[in-house]
Amino acid sequence: MNTADLGLPVDVPSTALFTDQYELTMLRAALKAGTADRRSVFEVFTRRLPDGRRYGVVAGTGRVLDAIENFRFDAGVLGFLREQGIVDEETLAWLAGYRFSGDVWGYPEGEVYFPGSPIMRVEGSFAECVLLETVILSILNHDSAIAAAASRMASAAGDRPLIEMGARRTHELAAVAAARAAYVGGFTTTSDLAAGFRYGIPTVGTSAHAFTLLHDRERDAFRAQVDTLGRGTTLLVDTYDVTEAVRTAVEVAGPELGAVRIDSGDLLLVAHRVRQQLDELGATGTRIIVTSDLDEYAIASLAAAPVDAYGVGTQLVTGSGHPTASMVYKLVARAETADPKAPLVPVAKKSSGGKTSVGGRKWAARRTDAEGIAEAEVVGTGPVPSALAGRQLQVELVKGGEVIAREPLDVTRDRHIAARARLPLSATQLSRGEPVLPTEYVHGGSGS
- The answer to whether the beta carbons of residues 276 and 245 sit under 8 Å apart is no
SS3 per-residue string spanning 319-359: HHHCCCCCEEEEEEEEECCCCCCCCEEECCCCCCCCCCCCC
pLDDT(448) > 70: no
pLDDT band at 353 (very low <50, low <70, confident <90, very high): low
Same-domain pairing of 69 and 174: no
pLDDT band at 123 (very low <50, low <70, confident <90, very high): very high
d(CA 316, CA 181): 10
Same-domain pairing of 332 and 371: yes
Last residue of a domain, one of 321, 352, 385: 321
**Which residues lie below 8 Å from residue 418, measured CB to CB, with a gap of 6+?**
none
Tell me the pLDDT tens digit for each residue of 295-351: 999 999 999 999 999 999 999 999 999 999 999 999 999 999 999 899 999 999 887
Q: At what angle do helices 409-421 and 133-157 cross, to 10 degrees?
A: 60
DSSP code of residue 153: H
Instruction: Kindly state the greatest CA–CA separation across the chain.
Output: 80
Backbone phi, psi, residue 36, to 5° = -65, -30
Q: What is the mean pLDDT of residues 142-165?
A: 98
pLDDT band at 224 (very low <50, low <70, confident <90, very high): very high
Last residue of a domain, one of 262, 294, 321: 321
Backbone phi, psi, residue 358, to 5° = -105, 125
Backbone phi, psi, residue 88, to 5° = -90, 180
Look up the domain containing 241 and give its range: 158-321
CATH number of residue 66's parent domain: 3.20.140.10
pLDDT confidence of residue 167: 96
pLDDT confidence of residue 445: 54
SS3 per-residue string spanning 245-272: HHHHHHHHHCCCCCEEEECCCCHHHHHH
Domains contained in the chain, number: 2
Q: Is the pTM above the cut of 0.85?
A: yes
Same-domain pairing of 168 and 57: no
For residue 282, count other CB atoms closer than 10 A to its CB. 12
282 within some domain: yes
**Which residues lie below 8 Å from residue 331, measured CB to CB, with a gap of 6+?**
40, 41, 42, 126, 130, 347
Tell me the pLDDT tens digit for each residue of 83-109: 999 999 999 999 999 999 999 999 999
Backbone phi, psi, residue 286, to 5° = -75, 125
